[in-house]
């Protein structure tokens, strides 16, 4: 059974509450329940943190034994050399995902410090971006 983890970064605990016009009205925990039902043949886990170092610690913890990481690092995508380096330092492949199409938004969201170290990037498909991220590992 493949082991895949979804890691969400800052402010993604507020999904369903925060800027619904951009991020939709579903909270992530109810979406994660749907994902577990959809991918019964996958050992799927979930971690969220608003803290850069905790995201790095989690990448180190799982990064040599899992089959894939679906990572939405939120705004750290555009700021964090350290998360980019953590992805480069582990062997588990990482797919960068975003709910919104960051390229349609402010210029500061167009750059990613993570993407050069990821296998690919998926953005703009709402919560379906996570499904596409998981599918990429299957």
Binding site for ligand DQA (CB under 6 A): 11, 72, 74-75, 77, 98-100, 102, 109
The answer to whether residues 77 and 112 touch, using CB atoms and an 8 Å cutoff, is yes
Q: Which is nearer to ligand DQA, 75 or 88 (CB)?
A: 75
We find the least distance from the C-beta atom of residue 18 to ligand DQA, in angstroms, to be 8
Q: Which is nearer to ligand DQA, 2 or 16 (CB)?
A: 16
We find the least distance from the C-beta atom of residue 74 to ligand DQA, in angstroms, to be 3
Instruction: Please state, in angstroms and rounded to a whole number, the distance separating the CA atoms of residues 36 and 101.
Output: 25
Q: Which is nearer to ligand DQA, 95 or 102 (CB)?
A: 102
- Told to judge if 130 belongs to the known catalytic residues of this protein, a careful annotator would answer no
- Told to judge if 78 belongs to the known catalytic residues of this protein, a careful annotator would answer no
Q: Which is nearer to ligand DQA, 21 or 91 (CB)?
A: 21
CA distance from start to end of the chain: 10
We find the least distance from the C-beta atom of residue 70 to ligand DQA, in angstroms, to be 11
The answer to whether residues 49 and 59 touch, using CB atoms and an 8 Å cutoff, is no
Instruction: Please state, in angstroms and rounded to a whole number, the distance separating the CA atoms of residues 77 and 23.
Output: 16
Token duo for residue 137:
């590992």
> Residue 15, Cα to own-chain centre: how many angstroms?
13
What is the four-CA torsion angle of 68, 64, 59, 12, rounded to 10 degrees? 20
We find the least distance from the C-beta atom of residue 124 to ligand DQA, in angstroms, to be 8
Q: Which of 66, 76, 98, 113 is catalytic?
A: 98
| Catalytically active residues, by annotation | 23, 98
């Amino acid at each position: 059974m493949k082991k895949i983890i979804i890691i969400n970064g800052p402010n993604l605990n507020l999904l369903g509450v925060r800027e619904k016009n951009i991020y939709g009205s579903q909270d992530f925990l109810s979406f994660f329940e749907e994902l577990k039902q959809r991918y019964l043949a996958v050992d799927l886990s979930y971690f969220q943190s608003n803290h850069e170092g905790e995201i790095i610690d989690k990448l180190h913890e799982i990064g040599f034994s899992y089959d894939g990481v679906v990572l939405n690092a939120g705004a750290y995508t555009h700021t964090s050399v350290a998360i980019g380096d953590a992805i480069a330092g582990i062997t588990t492949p990482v797919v960068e995902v975003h709910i919104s199409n960051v390229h349609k938004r402010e210029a500061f969201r167009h750059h990613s410090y993570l993407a050069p170290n990821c296998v690919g990037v998926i953005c703009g498909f709402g919560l379906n971006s996570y499904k596409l991220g998981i599918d990429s590992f299957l």
